Amino acid sequence: MRKLRSRRPISFVAAFEKPVTVGEEGGFLQQSCERLATYVPELESQYGLTDAGHGQSWVLRVGTETTALSGLGTEMALPALVTAVGDAVAARLELKSADSTSEPEA
């Protein structure tokens, strides 16, 4: 998952403060994804980042065990994700550059 924000970065590591246990069929992936998919919206809500304009999100998922992550952003394959993030960053830099070079009104 990749997030592009207009404000400070926010860590999602606390989603795993309590260790993830092995799933019924073995492995940690499904429960880890479910934990993250629950934690991220709760944290963003508490920070007031649920409204439009507070960032963009992209998700790269592989397999059915990662289905829970689908609600966290726009799903896409890696090449498209890299392009989308690059385009979004370039657009932000252009906007910031235009804002800093505009002359103040007299």
Residue-wise DSSP of 47-82:
TT--STTS-EEEE---SGGGGGGGGGSEE--HHHHH
pTM score: 0.78
59: CB partners within 8 A, 6+ apart: 1, 2, 69, 70, 72, 73, 74, 75, 76
Confidence of residue 106 (pLDDT cuts 50, 70, 90): low
pLDDT in tens, 3-47: 887 777 889 999 999 999 998 888 999 999 999 999 999 998 998
